[in-house]
Amino acid sequence: MSTPAGPAQETRLRDLRAGSAPVAIVARIVTAERREVVRKSDGGRRPVLSGLVSDGTATVRFTWWDPPKEDVDRGSVLRASPVEVREFRGAIELTLGWRTKAAPASPSELPELTDEERRPRPLADLKTRQEGFVILARIAQISEKAVTVGADRRIVFEGILEDANDDLAFTAWTDFRLRVGETVRIGGGYVGTFRGLRRLTLDERAQVDRVDAKLVPPSTRSMERVPLGRLAEGSGSERTRIIGRVVGLQPPSGLVARCPSCHRRTDAGACRVHGMVTPEPDLSARAVIDDGTGTLSANLDRAIIERLTGRTLDDYRRLLAARADASAVEAELADSLFGRRLELEGPVRRDEYGLSMDPREVHEQELDLTVAAKALRQRASRGAGS
């Protein structure tokens, strides 16, 4: 491509068009990952930096060939020109090459947003890879979780936001002291995906303010029971209630060994993040739930298993020691859970393997024989009339 006659025109990210002349941008680094690619011509290695940038009007992917050796920090603001604009897999992408000059810029140089752009957005309107929006929402759920980032152990806060018509999972890397039931105005978040579902990420750059509860109407969404057959037609849901019977277990179920730092399952004492560790025992069960319209794999944790079976982790460890059979605990769990009718609430995800859930709540449902008999008679009468 030939060099344009004049200087590249500064363009907002939302106004980028594939195939246009190279542009100048001012944008904030949202994510950045450095790697090397092998040149086909001579087998040499070429450094490349790729990730996402945002200017508040849009968030787009970038590829920076032969970037500076200095770290490009997440959250930093850059001015770059000329930058190539192209389309990749249906999405706009920026390419910074050897002709591109990039330098730090001030956050005040980012495009000024209009009143319309500052207007709070409904949760249903938010798409993945978006940043620079404002939302009004109510805290529906929140809990703490310990995670390992590199060599550091950190506490993050996970939960669900809701407005009148939708909900959205979020992860906060800063303690905003959020409480269930609070109504908040949030700016500076970023929408990504986690296991196929939208998730809002909040860090130290986010602004969270408490506002009057009247600004967010009560949610119209209810935790109605959803047939698995209907869920299989969509992409999943953050808040789902299902009722079905346990028809089997999938591996890994039973006693499992976990890394004491990140809680991932270990293999022969090895954690894929922390190397060789002294594993900690835990209970896990991947229960196959069938509601008559479809099936789902529910990942039951130790607390749920102990409550449903009435046996503790130590009980199962003693069972394993007595039988000296690695499959004894899984078999015992299968016998105890098989055929039980459970009500589960939590996020449901759909991928190439089908539906799965990490339930937040699990309760056993006693079968109402009168209701069951009535439903059986209705099915029988419909069959007789056909």
pLDDT tens over the chain, length 386 residues: 344 446 888 998 888 988 888 999 999 888 788 888 877 777 788 888 988 888 877 888 899 999 988 888 878 899 999 999 998 767 788 999 989 999 999 888 887 766 666 688 899 888 877 766 789 999 998 988 887 766 677 889 999 999 988 889 999 988 999 999 999 999 878 888 877 778 898 887 788 999 999 999 887 666 667 888 888 777 677 778 899 999 999 988 999 999 887 778 898 888 887 788 899 999 999 999 999 999 999 999 999 999 999 999 999 999 988 887 878 899 999 999 999 999 998 888 887 888 999 898 899 987 655 655 666 676 666 665 54
289, with CB counted inside 10 A (0-12, 13-18, 19+), is buried
Identical fold for domains 115-215 and 228-369, yes or no, is: yes
Question: How far is residue 40's CA from residue 43's CA, in Å, rounded to a whole number?
Answer: 6
Question: How far is residue 190's CA from residue 30's CA, in Å, rounded to a whole number?
Answer: 8
Q: Which residues contact 95 (CB under 8 A, 6 or more apart)?
A: 62, 63, 64, 65, 83, 84, 85, 86
Q: Using CA of residue 364, residue 369, residue 375, residue 376, what is the dihedral sign?
A: positive
Q: Which of 359, 365, 361, 315 is nearest to 340 (CA)?
A: 365
Question: How far is residue 143's CA from residue 145's CA, in Å, rounded to a whole number?
Answer: 7
Q: What is the per-residue pLDDT for 285?
A: 94
Q: Which of 123, 99, 14, 101 is nearest to 59 (CA)?
A: 14
Residue 211 is classified by DSSP as -
In 3-state terms, what secondary structure has residue 145? Answer: strand
Q: What is the per-residue pLDDT for 4?
A: 43
First to last CA, the chain: 70
Q: What is the per-residue pLDDT for 224?
A: 66
Alpha-helix runs per DSSP H in the chain: 115-118, 228-231, 302-309, 313-323, 328-337, 369-385
Going from N- to C-terminal start, the domains of the chain cover 9-109, 115-215, 228-369
Q: What is the per-residue pLDDT for 227?
A: 87
Spell out the CATH class of 115-215: mainly beta
CA angle 155, 158, 159 (to 5 degrees): 155
Question: How far is residue 195's CA from residue 210's CA, in Å, rounded to a whole number?
Answer: 30
pTM for the model stands at 0.59
Q: What is the per-residue pLDDT for 2?
A: 40
Q: Give me the CATH topology for the region 9-109.
A: OB fold (Dihydrolipoamide Acetyltransferase, E2P) (2.40.50)
Q: Which of 195, 192, 135, 128 is nearest to 162 (CA)?
A: 135
Is the backbone of residue 263 left (phi > 0), alpha (psi -120 to 50) or beta?
left
For residue 163, how many C-alpha atoms fall within 13 Å in the half-sphere facing its CB?
18
What are 229's two structure tokens?
Answer: 């057959």
Instruction: Give, in order, the Cα–Cα distances in Å from 143 to each of 257, 262, 347.
Output: 24, 17, 15
CB 60 within 8 A of CB 16: yes
Going across the sheet that includes 183-187, the strands are 130-131, 190-194, 197-202, 167-172, 152-162, 134-149, 183-187, 207-210
CATH architecture of 228-369: Beta Barrel (2.40)
Question: How far is residue 171's CA from residue 158's CA, in Å, rounded to a whole number?
Answer: 5
CB 195 within 8 A of CB 155: no
Q: Which residue has the tokens 């092998």?
A: 38
What are 16's two structure tokens?
Answer: 């980028």
CB 170 within 8 A of CB 161: yes
